Structure 1
């Protein structure tokens, strides 16, 4: 499978509703989720004992080290660690294979896939528009620097790009701090990414060739066709995107004349979207049970 096809397959298997825009994650220093905007060290205690809690704690350790490193070079930096998922990891936005059927049904009865509902319930964390989150406070710090100092700031923070190696960089406070905490360079290193991609490819291929998954996907597709939906692919990893993509198209059509949607259009759009989401839920009920272990394995590769 080519790298492009792998990316498409990974996206299909781990499809998550992304509203108007997706917020930055904690994959690099500038893209870390925004903190409260206050300077100084941030707490490093994990949230419970979950994997998310450890990731948040590790992110806080990295960010505090970055701030110390930048300070040593004469620059201000506000630690901006990964935050608890809240709305962004709401079950509305997660892969349906990872959400219990009863919980997902209740959510879809109110929010659909989470498109139009972002306008009906603008302050609801379950469907908060991710493009409306606060910007990193460090962006404001950089803007206050003159062009020459801004370049020095960015190199000090993110290091120097390695020619011919894509996102890989050498040096920089972020990479050095990340390595101290995790014992390896940040994701984006070509060798590390290649290994992860190879593992993810194996998971995707196992899913697509699994007899139970294929049979369940065909049943899923037949149910959708009987409901009047056009199914372009019955393959595992593709079929589950059928109705969501149709709902996305409905939403984008409603927004064709601008970023906002008037109240009447949003209300009607949500009603249509809820019906589509519930149709999809019922048709894919058995399929998602079979897909769950494959989705979980793919997430473990770090490619989800």
Structure 2
């Protein structure tokens, strides 16, 4: 079973060293300015926590004889996380709404607002991570020791207790530091909670009532369903193959879908936000 809702956002930076329906006729207004400010406000607390964890990680690695350069939020996290995907469930509706009113699910918006920092994805280029260069200059034996100090098995890629686990665990709690067993238990608890199941079914029924073809109302899948109906209209060549006029027309439909999704997810989002935030923040899945 896919675990769409799970996210490794908390632990991924430290551990992935080398991986680097109808609508209005109006097009979205380019001058809408509420979104970026609200997104930045929501991100401030996580930014501070991540920076603290990265600094602790660097200190730990130094004690073990290795150099590690703390990573910043901008390198590892997309600002679209605040209004799209599972992590948006943790944000209040009044924070998500102005962003979705402009960008939808950030699918066709890329062609309508090229270069907009809110929807620009972090550069996946491994050269953007200075630790790759540090690692690459080590001998094979030193790389093995570095992996062990950081907290990963270089051959299998599996996480093991190390500096990353210690630093992120101290900052975010164990479920965000790579405790896969605990995260898996939390996931299973979430999926089997009768209130979650009922809320997810209500969520799906609401979307179906608004004309969307929803194939599954399972917890962990339903929050992706409306976005998937938008992705289904993506041409084979992606947004790069679309004219701005066509992308604007699709974005109007996408915005409606994104707002319908926001209106329908009510109880489900509330339960996730208040009772199961670690399911989104955790790393098993």
TM over 0.5, shorter chain:
yes
- 1:198 is matched with 185
Deviations 1:97-117 (A, max 9, x none): 322223322111100001121
By relative contact order (CA 8 Å, sep 6+), the higher-ranking structure is: 2
- 2:69 is matched with 79
**Which residue among 80, 85, 110 is the counterpart of 1:118?**
110
Larger Rg: 1
Contact 1:27–1:187, Cα closer than 8 Å, also in 2: no
Report the number of matched residues: 253
Per-residue deviation, 1:218: 3.4
- 1:41 is matched with none
C-alpha distance in structure 2 between counterparts of 1:303 and 1:177, whole Å = 16
Q: Equivalent residue of 1:197, what SS?
A: helix
**Which residue among 89, 92, 95 is the counterpart of 1:100?**
92
**Which residue among 58, 71, 75 is the counterpart of 2:53?**
58
Distance 1:247-1:150 versus aligned 2 partners, 3 A rule? farther
Query: Within the alignment, does 1:242 sit opposite 2:242 as a pair?
Result: no
Deviations 1:206-247 (A, max 9, x none): 2xx22xx44443333233223321121233333332211112
More displaced, 24-33 or 121-130? Answer: 24-33
**Which residue among 240, 257, 267 is the counterpart of 1:260?**
240
Contact 2:103–2:109, Cα closer than 8 Å, also in 1: yes
C-alpha distance in structure 2 between counterparts of 1:64 and 1:167, whole Å = 22
Distance 1:269-1:100 versus aligned 2 partners, 3 A rule? same
Distance 1:105-1:135 versus aligned 2 partners, 3 A rule? same
With the length of structure 1 as denominator, give the TM-score of the two structures.
Answer: 0.64
Per-residue deviation, 1:15: 7.7
C-alpha distance in structure 2 between counterparts of 1:276 and 1:15, whole Å = 23
**Which residue among 278, 282, 290 is the counterpart of 2:259?**
278
C-alpha distance in structure 2 between counterparts of 1:226 and 1:243, whole Å = 12
C-alpha distance in structure 1 between counterparts of 2:63 and 2:80, whole Å = 30
Query: Within the alignment, does 1:218 sit opposite 2:201 as a pair?
Result: yes
Per-residue deviation, 1:176: 5.2
Distance 1:286-1:122 versus aligned 2 partners, 3 A rule? same
Contact 1:217–1:234, Cα closer than 8 Å, also in 2: yes
Q: Equivalent residue of 2:128, what SS?
A: coil
Distance 1:259-1:83 versus aligned 2 partners, 3 A rule? same
Distance 1:261-1:221 versus aligned 2 partners, 3 A rule? same
More displaced, 59-68 or 224-233? Answer: 59-68
The CA RMSD measured in Å over matched residues stands at 4.2
Q: Equivalent residue of 1:245, what SS?
A: helix
Contact 2:144–2:154, Cα closer than 8 Å, also in 1: no
Q: Equivalent residue of 1:123, what SS?
A: coil
With the length of structure 2 as denominator, give the TM-score of the two structures.
Answer: 0.67
